[in-house]
Amino acid sequence: MNDRKRRIKICGLTRAEDIEAVNLWKPDYAGFVFAPGKRQLTKGQARQLREALLPEIPSVGVFVNSPTEDILALIKDGTIKMVQLHGDEDSDYTTTLKEQMEIPVPIIKAIRVRSGDDMAKAESFPSDYLLFDTYSKEVYGGSGKSFDWSSIPVIKKPWFLAGGIGAENILKAAATDAFCLDLSSSLETEGRKDPEKIKEIIQILRSE
């Protein structure tokens, strides 16, 4: 197992109670979803959560094919500190978004993995980070299923690993070259973030 710091991002936070748990256990990133789905936040909801979040924990806004002006507004008012593009955004979209930022923030581009080629080709994408997630025809992300991590090629650009990571396989995920592990549904009970599961996963990851 590698001896790098094992970073963790907890995505899909929706309630004040979620922020309390995150502030207590201090993951490296907190994810706010603005894409359609059960975890989708309005701008106002996200702003309230960001105000309650510890300032040292970067908030990541997750978007699927959103107008760039929506993203820029959330950056400008401080609601998000990083951008995660999880849809069909191409190089031109991403370059334009970067050029329009008054406040430069890092961009993560999610790749829905079907083969090793998908990941290798993505290295030239004009983002600061990549995120490798399981491909699903039904949804852009959040399927809760993992893919074959052994198929991940050597990628020089730092990348996040998502899809089906939970307490039972978090150390296997941490043994990859991932810059950060991205978790959401595995930390929920009956569709809501569970503080005990957040505590457990961070204790497992950071006790090694």
Active-site choice (88, 118, 128, 133): 133
How distant is the alpha carbon of residue 83 from its chain centre?
Answer: 9
For the question of residue 133 being annotated catalytic, the response is yes
Which backbone phi and psi does 10 adopt, to 5 degrees? -105, 115
Q: Which long-range contacts (CB under 8 A, 24 or more apart) does 148-155 make?
A: 149/173, 149/176, 151/113, 151/115, 151/116, 151/119, 152/116, 152/119, 152/176, 152/177, 153/116, 153/119, 153/120, 155/119, 155/120, 155/122, 155/123, 155/130
For the question of residue 11 being annotated catalytic, the response is yes
Strand partners, 161: 132, 181
Active-site choice (11, 18, 180, 182): 11
**What 3-state DSSP class applies to 189?**
strand
Distance CA 52, CA 94 (A): 29
Given a contact cutoff of 8 angstroms between Cβ atoms, the answer to whether 50 and 72 are in contact is no
Distance CA 39, CA 161 (A): 19
Report, as residue numbers or ranges, the catalytic residues. 11, 133
